Amino acid sequence: MILIDLIQYFEEGPIIPLLLSLIALIAIIIQCFTKHLFMKKKVIFSFILVFTNTLLLVFYSQLIESNFSAYLKWCFLFLDIIGIILLFTTIDYSLVNESFKDKLVDSLNQTKNYLVLDKKDRIKDISANLLKTLNMEYKDAVGKNCFDVLDSAYLIIGFNDNECRKKDIQKYYDKYYSKASPLDHKTIEIAMQMDDGREFVLTFIETPIFRNDKYKGRILIGDKKDEEALTGIERENDALEEELEVIRSRFVTLLNKTSDGIYFNDLTNHSIWFNDVLVKKLYLTGNSMDSSEFYRNIHPDDIPIYEEKLSNITGEYSISYRFNVGGAYLYLKEEGSKIISNSQTELCGIIKVLDDESFELSKTMLDIVSSEIEMKRRFNELIAIDKIFQVVYIRLDSIPDVNEAYGRTVGNNVLNQYITYFKQNFVIDNLIFRITGLEFVAFITSNNKMEALKNRFKDEGKFLHPKLEFPGGKIDTNVYMGIAYSNDTPNRKELIKLAKEAMTTAMSPKYSSNFAYYREIR
């Protein structure tokens, strides 16, 4: 019986579903603003519901007289139920959200010092906790200048560790709106003095408020540090300074008494400091020198190994090298650790002078690369198996110019750097061989490495015209490559010859690139 009366009620009042859907839509839009989140699905659904109810209301008289009239009351009942459910869930969620906000604000109000200021530094809101600190009523603070209020309660004596008065702070914030930025987020400290001479500090995190890119004021949230807390901080600072002074004294004493050679290599500022022991042993002109000057005295054959070691250090390290002390080389062993502090990185440790027998010489890539005889043996092994591989013929054409300009040792250094890079990135099982002083042959047996080489050619400028580093600067180099696949010819024994032919083509002035694939030029 109740259900029938309810149906008749909605049938007589078709505007009810429209009102319910409109109220739900408004509640959802308000919720979007309060949450700062556009709830797309809910908004679209409520719009559709409003639109449907509007159409039914507009054409209600025509529908009543149509064949649809028998179902109309059930349609309105269905739309009313949907509207009630949507409205109920939206209002319920909003109430829960509002309750959470109230509890959050109340918690801040009771436990934190906070101020909301307008663009003229007038107090728009102030926490109960700060009012208690200032021994003041809410009505006595709101609407008044923030610094007038603070100074009326206690005397302002400092700002951000600087001695000042109220007028100095007000002058600091004069025309603050013209220099404020939405990205500003800083800590400020206002030192206060009570009537009995005791001091405390109000510490705030200051954040500007902007609306439509216009400065509207700022929020300050923070805490109070009383004299006891400040004294504790001062005591901690004094104790820390005393501890640091003890450590410094011990360190200086050890430096003066030790017989070991101690160094500090500042990688950030490119300078190295040596103690007096090393100054004497290495015949240095002073305790400090530019790192590039030190590197220039390392034997050219050892430089690539030294630089590679430096680039890969994560913690402790050890390396041996030869060091020029004026016409002769001393064998040195450097042992130390990498230290990272804030934005500074340095190496520190001990450098020992070794005799010839104990010198742990690390071989360069040019020492490891095999000769043409070994190349032929490995080549015969490869062509005997049914596997696709590449032959890469390489020529570093600019090395004679480097030798003439900088010396043969620098030329070998540059040559070693490039071949080391090529071997590490494209060659497996040491399948790279030196044919002449400037020419090398590499066998690439991995499909991934073949594809990596092809992709590297896309940046030909850096790959075939690289600027290679040496102690003292960078050197422009010019590299040519010819590449042949093992299936480019039925006679695999000709592959090296075909790769060299491709390289010769790449060296031709008429050819546009420094590399050539044999299959593309044949």
CA-to-CA dists, residue 462 to 418, 421, 475, 479, 508, angstroms: 12, 13, 13, 10, 20
* Structure tokens, 176: 């603050």
CA angle 288/289/293 to nearest 5° reads 160
- pLDDT in the model for residue 362: 46
CA-to-CA dists, residue 121 to 146, 168, 204, 219, 314, angstroms: 6, 14, 15, 10, 52
CATH of domain 261-354: 3.30.450.20
Name the region of 135 (left: φ>0; alpha: ψ -120 to 50; beta: rest): left
pLDDT tens readout for residues 302-313: 888 888 887 788
What residues contact 337, with CB distance under 8 A and at least 6 apart? Answer: 315, 316, 317, 347, 348, 349
Share of the chain above pLDDT 90, in %: 10
Residue 126 to residue 73: CA distance in whole angstroms: 56
Residue 146 to residue 124: CA distance in whole angstroms: 9
Check whether domain 365-521 has CATH 1.25.40.10, yes or no: no
pLDDT at 93 over 90: no
Q: What is the mean pLDDT of residues 94-114?
A: 53
One-letter amino acid for residue 352 of the chain: K
* Structure tokens, 218: 């700022």
Q: Which residue has the higher pLDDT, 109 or 462?
A: 462
* Structure tokens, 479: 């590299």
pLDDT tens readout for residues 458-486: 888 888 888 876 545 577 889 999 999 98
- pLDDT in the model for residue 518: 92
pLDDT tens readout for residues 210-234: 877 788 888 888 887 765 554 555 5
Q: Which residue has the higher pLDDT, 48 or 189?
A: 189
Length of the chain: 522
| Chain centre to alpha carbon of residue 223 | 32
- pLDDT in the model for residue 489: 87
Closest of 276, 270, 263 to residue 290, by C-alpha: 270
What residues contact 381, with CB distance under 8 A and at least 6 apart? Answer: none
pLDDT at 98 over 50: no
Residue 190 to residue 118: CA distance in whole angstroms: 19
- pLDDT in the model for residue 237: 59
* Structure tokens, 74: 């059930």
pLDDT at 352 over 60: yes
Residue 349 to residue 258: CA distance in whole angstroms: 13
pLDDT at 415 over 90: no
Query: Which of 32-46, 66-80, 351-365, 407-421 is least confident?
Result: 351-365
Q: Which residue has the higher pLDDT, 344 or 66?
A: 344
Q: How confident is the model at residue 394 (pLDDT cuts 50, 70, 90)?
A: very high
Are domains 112-225 and 261-354 of this chain identical in fold?
yes
Q: What is the mean pLDDT of residues 231-257?
A: 62
Residue 115 to residue 123: CA distance in whole angstroms: 7
Q: What are phi and psi of 187, to 5 degrees?
A: -100, 135
Which SS3 state, helix, strand or coil, does residue 326 take?
coil
Q: Which residue has the higher pLDDT, 460 or 341?
A: 460
Residue 217 to residue 207: CA distance in whole angstroms: 9
- pLDDT in the model for residue 435: 87
- pLDDT in the model for residue 6: 47
Query: DSSP labels for 453-513?
Result: HHHHGGGHHHHHS-EEEETTEEEE--EEEEEEETTS-S-GGGHHHHHHHHHHHHHSTTSSS
Q: What is the mean pLDDT of residues 401-424?
A: 80
* Structure tokens, 54: 């509007």
pLDDT tens readout for residues 15-47: 777 777 777 777 777 766 655 556 677 777 777
Closest of 323, 340, 463 to residue 396, by C-alpha: 463
Q: What is the mean pLDDT of residues 146-171?
A: 87
- pLDDT in the model for residue 68: 59
Partners of residue 483 on adjacent β-strands: 392, 517
pTM assigned to the model: 0.37
Closest of 328, 476, 326 to residue 411, by C-alpha: 476
Name the CATH superfamily housing domain 112-225.
PAS domain (3.30.450.20)
Q: Delimit the domains of the chain by residue range.
A: 2-108, 112-225, 261-354, 365-521
- pLDDT in the model for residue 220: 85
Strand order of the β-sheet with 439-444 is: 432-434, 439-444, 390-396, 479-485, 515-517
Residue 354 to residue 339: CA distance in whole angstroms: 26
Closest of 112, 123, 153, 150 to residue 135, by C-alpha: 153
